[in-house]
Amino acid sequence: MSQALIEQLKAFKVIPVIQINHVEQAVPLAKVLVENGLPVAEVTFRTDAAADAIRAMREAYPQMCIGAGTVLNAAQVDKAKDAGAEFIVAPGLNPNTVRYCQQQGIPFVPGINNPSQIEQALELGLTFLKFFPAEASGGINMVKSLLAPYVDVSIMPTGGIGKANIRDYLAVDRVLCCGGTWMVAPKLIEAGDWDEIGRLVREAVALVQD
């Protein structure tokens, strides 16, 4: 992971984790994010529309920082990279996927939630990691405990993070940013409620930038 990309994600503080079911939703959603001060997205490969959604967002808003999430294998890495993803995020740590991303020259952020996985990541040369599922894995206390012995590691907690707790996570040293879905909830995207998404995005930006 390049320092420039890490600094970019750190500046955003909150990374919208997006599930897009229909590619037609991609550009309107990207527009809302860009116009309301959060030009970044992690588009999850939980749906068949993911790669096309990334491609549509990339073409419409080249300035956006766009990653692919829930990437589980090399085939999905190829699809994401071809579509224009700048980085890859996974729920877990698969050494095969790590090595494949390294061969392809695309930054990879694996999911970890225990010391053994952190040591595996370090062995593979990775120091920026996703703590997932954050709340279910012990939340802020677990984050502090995990970071203490690993002074080179910084993390992006994701899972169960929302308006009520994101500032507490960000207050922890070496928590650089958090993934969140509350401002881009699937039901709002499905309903095409771009005004409400815009309001929630503005609120999220204000919350983390205070």
Alpha carbon 25 to chain centroid, angstroms: 19
Domain count, the chain: 1
Q: With CA atoms as reference, report the closest residue to 72 among 99, 97, 54.
A: 97
Give the domain CATH number at 48. Answer: 3.20.20.70
Q: CB–CB of 146/120 below 8 Å?
A: no
87 sits in the region (left: phi over 0; alpha: psi -120 to 50; else beta) called: beta
Q: Does residue 210 have a pLDDT over 80?
A: no
Catalytically annotated residues = 42, 130
pTM exceeds cut of 0.75: yes
In the DSSP assignment, the letter for residue 158 is B
Range of the domain at 77: 3-201
Residue 206 inside a domain? The answer is no
The 8 Å CB, 24+ separation contacts for 136-143 are: 136/160, 137/113, 138/113, 139/165, 140/165, 140/168, 140/169, 140/172, 142/113, 143/169, 143/172, 143/175
What residues does 156 pair with on adjacent strands? 130
- The predicted-structure confidence for 40-76, as pLDDT tens digits, reads as follows 999 999 999 999 999 999 999 999 999 999 999 999 9
- The predicted-structure confidence for 103-153, as pLDDT tens digits, reads as follows 999 999 999 999 999 999 999 999 999 999 999 999 999 999 999 999 999
Residue 208 inside a domain? The answer is no
